[in-house]
Chains A and B, each alone.
Chain A
């Protein structure tokens, strides 16, 4: 196990290095010129060049990347070109909100997805199954924006149960988590359903039934843990997804997460922020996957970490 963990961590470091290198190269290859964005419209050629020098963008790319990585190893992500603030500070200010929403969303996804999937799988072929699968499909295919605005309109504007967006109290967390939970839950429901059907075919279920075990015991002890395995892998991936790709939900609910920061940085070619966010998301994905792999054997002893 320690050897496995060490190997995975080395792998993770290599993946992050790769992500950093590729992102840096891509940003470098863009025709858009950050020095011009900083220097503004009144700047003449000399002024743009001077800004370029100040930002260190006049150096060869390998040198720029080298010094970026050197600082990164010391925990320094640089300063935003436009905000002039430490990127670590900007990310730090947004990270708690992103993590909180991630937890809320994954909780909703699991509750909605696994419940619907289990019911549909156990009632395979019935009208209940078909209805639930259509509902799941609707959740998956409706744009985030629509679900988010609809929930907000009904529960916050009309019924007034929640405030119209905001951050800081538990009530603010409910609607954004639910929005993401419905979307992800749709996927989870479909995956859970197929794995429930798969598990139902297994001999040990037949044995359990033949033994005359209680129906609920079969469902909760024998089917659920086996059916939920693929979901754990999906949660691992979602951790990364929730780290930066949920800008729409964030902006509908005024949630001060990392997505918002990313969106603005991309518009302004603020390379230090873009790099910081990319690396953070990559970290989250790598860690999420690692976590999923570590949890799997706890649920299914057949899986061994080697």
Chain B
């Protein structure tokens, strides 16, 4: 049957007048550059925007997203069932999926991988997401030797039980932290697994030269027919984005992973050949200014509202070459639940002054604004500083490296205001809950937490819990709407001033093409490595 299909498609290819109708041929290679090292490709550990997408090409999870969208689809799982109470998920695994070492992937590997991520010894930054799995607390505390919520039914069936309903579970199974790893390789390699990863993914890592390059080659036995398109991807590490752009223009590389540097942006966008090669994509990102509700005078809601009204967001977007759209709510537009009809606070200097007067602070006040010290963040903070000065607020800038800003945000009386840039929230998975629990919920408003506004509204927390309990897939729209309302209602208390939603500008060589949307994928930055193909291999 497969052979018949192939010959049919071959015939179709010969008949088709344009290559768009033809089946894309496998072959060829591409070069991607990053300034900073990928650090690790261990799926339980890798957690930055660069290694995140590469890991997705080396490993797979039970679930994944349809390319170019935020729509969940089964991946290593063939199908799944959810119990009526939403507490039990049963996944049927695909047959015949093999790791790069040739061994077949089985249900026990799924269990091992989840336990590995949840095991404190692994130090996974993603462990916290799996708190709803039954037996999680005991396993973490070392009171149990296995995670009781994950059960191997047979070689190709896994049952996951939850201690509380969590409608994000399918997303959590699509998250890198739940990707399936082979026990024997992890144990043989120990901590070096991150540089010599073995997964089931479309590509296998064949070479890792620290600080220089990482080479991925096609996994010949990959379970998805026809993927990946490329035979080889080389990541070159260590060069400035400006230089990488020159190399792109000289035809030496295909995708500069860090994108178009600010200094070159106007030049590129005015260049008739190169502007065609730029794709603009929505990101699941919001840049925001937090106001610590514990610190006077930000304990007064009128003051927080005044700050919201004082900031000229259009001007701030200009600082980053308008590679962002002004935001008025915590959720970014590409996220389910975003309320396009919500107006938020207008830019209104007089109104802001009136609000300050209402708070009895018409003379203004002095405060501190914390900001990460890498460009363009200090420039953005300066613009905010000027806007605040216009209504009488004197904000002194604290330019620190990001670790220290994060530390200040995590202290109850640490930072009155923080500009989130450089550390801003980019969703780990496309679900609105990902923008609440840690950064706006009561759970994050603790010492060392990430809720830098220290905003805690128990009524909203309760609504969030209710929304998360809507596990029936038929309720998806209702759930998204409930979440959206939580975020817009929260803006009445104005713990944040949402500033903008960044857009990704991906530039690529003409040699590399892909199906519609591949360069604007909300899950993969800069690109879904499995889907792109080389035009010179066609």
Contact = CB atoms under 8 A, between A and B. Distances in A.
Interface stretch (B97-105, B149-157, B189-197, B316-324): B189-197
Interface string A244-257: 00000011111111
Interface string B180-219: 0000000000011011000000000000011110000000
A45 to B, nearest CB: 6
Given A47-B140, A261-B211, A42 B448 contact: no
A38 B211 contact: no
Interface stretch (B16-24, B40-48, B266-274, B484-492): B40-48
A32 B123 contact: no
Contact of A54 (B123, B195, B402): B123
A41 interface: yes
Given A30-B403, A85-B192, A36 B410 contact: yes
B284 to A, nearest CB: 14
A31 B238 contact: no
B127 interface: yes
A164 B252 contact: yes
B287 to A, nearest CB: 16
A167 interface: yes
B78 interface: no
A156 to B, nearest CB: 8
A290 to B, nearest CB: 29
A255 B238 contact: yes
Interface string A48-68: 101100110000000000000
Nearest to B247: A164
B403 to A, nearest CB: 3
A23 interface: no
A301 interface: no
Contacts of A167: 212
A40 interface: yes
B39 A82 contact: yes
A165 B140 CA distance: 47
A157 B246 contact: yes
B126 A40 contact: yes
Contact of B140 (A34, A46, A261, A266): A46
A103 interface: no
A152 interface: yes
Given A42-B438, A85-B194, A260 B403 contact: no
A256 B401 CA distance: 23
B360 interface: no
Contacts of A194: none
A238 to B, nearest CB: 22
A79 B402 CA distance: 22
Contacts of A130: none
Nearest to B422: A267
A33 interface: yes
Interface string B121-158: 10111111101000000001100000000000000000
A84 B194 contact: yes
Contacts of B402: 267
Given A40-B125, A51-B120, A250-B238, A157 B407 contact: no
A84 B428 CA distance: 22
Interface in A56-93: 79, 82-85, 89-90, 93
B238 A254 contact: yes
Interface in B38-61: 39-40, 42, 45, 47
B239 A253 contact: yes
B410 A94 contact: no
Contacts of A83: 37, 39-40, 194-195
Given A40-B128, A42-B127, A93-B209, A84 B246 contact: no
Contacts of B191: 79, 84-85
Q: Chain A CB within 10 Å — which of B243, B428, B447, B448 has the most?
A: B243
A43 B252 CA distance: 41
B297 interface: no
A46 B141 CA distance: 9
B315 interface: no
B408 A85 contact: no
Contacts of B238: 250-251, 254-256, 260
A113 to B, nearest CB: 27
Given A32-B406, A51-B120, A94-B210, 4 more contacts: A30-B403, A37-B403, A42-B126, A45-B448
29 contacts: A31-B407, A34-B403, A41-B438, A42-B127, A43-B127, A43-B128, A44-B443, A45-B447, A46-B141, A51-B123, A54-B121, A55-B123, A82-B39, A84-B42, A84-B194, A93-B209, A94-B211, A97-B211, A149-B243, A152-B246, A164-B250, A167-B212, A251-B238, A256-B237, A256-B238, A260-B37, A260-B238, A264-B39, A267-B402
